[in-house]
């Protein structure tokens, strides 16, 4: 479980620039993730070997100036609730504004680490101007310029120093299924349908996070932990339609799970918010099962299922090898199938393939369809092995790894899927120097 750091502040102070700088640094160092991420507001970063999840509240503010303030307050409150540390960003060009003061008032009451980052400080005159931010009553501040990165090192040093140590909880190896989705998609009804009125609960384990409760079930002959994100927050504190809210809730649950059951409302379709949550799970390399709920409410003919499936697969390219199940939580239609599929995806995610078998199957295919030559140089792939990671990752050893482009990596991924069944699981393909 990594810590969650939220970046808050009023619009246009440079939160997103700072956010992008941090997650690109991570991408460059740790791994280049294939496939574009479609989610601008959530990413993973690391500094001095400490990994954390980063949430940029910037992209969520909509509406007029009056609506701005209410929205920002909501986001800051939510960030205060959910995050382990908060970066409060202000802008030296505009000085201290009323909105900054409002945010500071909320943050002064918090017993979590808060870092005041004064952005756009790119010369000596401006670092003198920064002194006025002491008036916010948050103590020490950090002068940064997120556009060129100056000053971010000191801020990050202090940040990772202050992050609480997350203890790794080693539990018995039960599959952990998280039920995620936007508000009102039917997550609670799905969970109640699974549990039944008499609650087939073996034990209640309080999750390592305060909000996602893990419940151990033994149902349909499977034992599994259910990470439930539905109906946990007090309704009075949150406006249900806030996109930031459902993404923030999902981050915790997804990081905490092996397989995500993404519940969507058939009458609303696979909209932007559902897509955000889908890519969140994909970025975290979790197993995914898409559950189309309220299917009984949709007008349909014999072609409906196929067409609906096709439309969703189009939106999740290139990762289309994901099971889709049409359910009704109310009539309990196919909920057993949903759990059975989640268990299969869980097994696929922890599958280990013998090196000899990998090479026997894939090397002849690669021989027939080698990577395209690049600048007259031929890439020869000699050897393949699965890496010892919790989810499927494969290293292809070759003479010129830098010349193998994404389309060919996708070809290799598709061949792995074709022969070894990784349905519902993101697969990573790495090229390594022989």
Binding-site residue ranges for GTP: 9-16, 56-60, 119-122, 181-188, 228-232, 293-296
Q: Are 242 and 60 in contact (CB under 8 A)?
A: yes
- Give one DSSP letter per residue of 33-80, joined into a string: -SS----TTEEEEEETTEEEEEEEGGGG--S-HHHHHHHHHHHHHHHH
Closest CA to 227 of 173, 168, 179: 179
Q: Is 350 exposed, middle or buried (0-12, 13-18, 19+ CB in 10 A)?
A: middle
Nearest Cα to Cα of residue 233 among 215, 213, 217, 218: 213
Which residue ranges make up the annotated binding site? Answer: 9-16, 56-60, 119-122, 181-188, 228-232, 293-296
Q: Please give the Cα distance from 228 to 237 (Å, whole number).
A: 19
Q: 290: which 2 tokens?
A: 């898409």
CB count in 10 Å sphere of residue 332: 15
- Return d(Cα 194, Cα 201) in angstroms, integer: 11
Those residues whose C-beta lies under 8 Å from the C-beta of residue 159, and which sit 6 or more positions away, are 5, 47, 52, 85, 87, 113, 115
């Amino acid at each position: 479980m990594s810590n969650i750091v939220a970046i808050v502040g009023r619009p246009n102070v440079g939160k997103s620039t700072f956010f992008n700088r941090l997650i690109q640094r991570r991408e460059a160092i740790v791994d280049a993730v294939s496939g574009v991420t479609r989610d601008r507001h959530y990413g993973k970063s690391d500094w001095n070997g400490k990994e954390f999840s980063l949430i940029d509240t910037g992209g969520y503010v909509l509406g007029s100036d009056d609506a701005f303030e209410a929205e920002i307050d909501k986001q800051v409150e939510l960030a205060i609730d959910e995050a382990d540390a908060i970066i409060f960003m202000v802008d030296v060009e505009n000085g201290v504004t009323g909105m900054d003061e409002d945010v500071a008032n909320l943050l002064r009451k918090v017993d979590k680490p808060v870092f005041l980052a004064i952005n756009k400080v790119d010369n000596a005159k401006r670092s003198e101007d920064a002194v006025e931010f002491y008036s916010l009553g948050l103590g020490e501040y950090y002068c940064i310029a997120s556009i060129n990165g100056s000053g971010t090192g000191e801020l990050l040093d202090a940040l990772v120093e202050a992050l609480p140590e997350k203890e790794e909880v080693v539990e018995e190896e039960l599959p952990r299924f998280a039920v995620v989705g936007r508000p009102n998609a039917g997550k609670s009804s799905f969970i109640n349908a699974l549990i039944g009125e008499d609650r087939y609960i073996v034990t209640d384990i309080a999750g390592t996070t305060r909000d996602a409760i893990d419940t151990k079930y033994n149902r349909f002959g499977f034992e599994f932990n259910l990470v439930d994100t539905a109906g946990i927050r007090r309704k009075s504190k949150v406006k249900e339609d806030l996109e930031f809210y459902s993404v923030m809730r999902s981050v915790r649950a997804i990081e905490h799970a092996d397989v995500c059951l993404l519940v969507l409302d058939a009458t609303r379709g696979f909209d932007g918010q559902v897509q955000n949550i889908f890519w969140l799970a994909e970025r975290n390399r979790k197993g995914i099962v898409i559950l189309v709920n309220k299917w009984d409410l949709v007008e349909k003919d014999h072609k409906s299922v196929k067409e609906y499936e096709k439309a969703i697969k189009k939106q999740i390219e290139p990762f289309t090898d994901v099971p889709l199940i049409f359910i009704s939580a109310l009539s309990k239609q196919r909920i057993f199938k949903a759990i059975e599929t989640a268990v299969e995806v869980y097994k696929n995610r922890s599958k280990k393939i013998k090196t000899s078998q990998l090479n026997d199957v894939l090397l002849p295919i690669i021989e027939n369809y080698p990577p395209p030559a690049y600048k007259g140089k031929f890439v020869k792939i000699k050897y393949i092995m699965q890496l010892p990671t919790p989810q499927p990752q494969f290293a292809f050893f070759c003479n010129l790894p830098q010349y193998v482009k994404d389309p060919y990596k996708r070809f290799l991924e598709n061949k792995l899927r074709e022969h070894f069944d990784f349905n519902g699981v993101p697969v990573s393909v790495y090229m390594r120097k022989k």
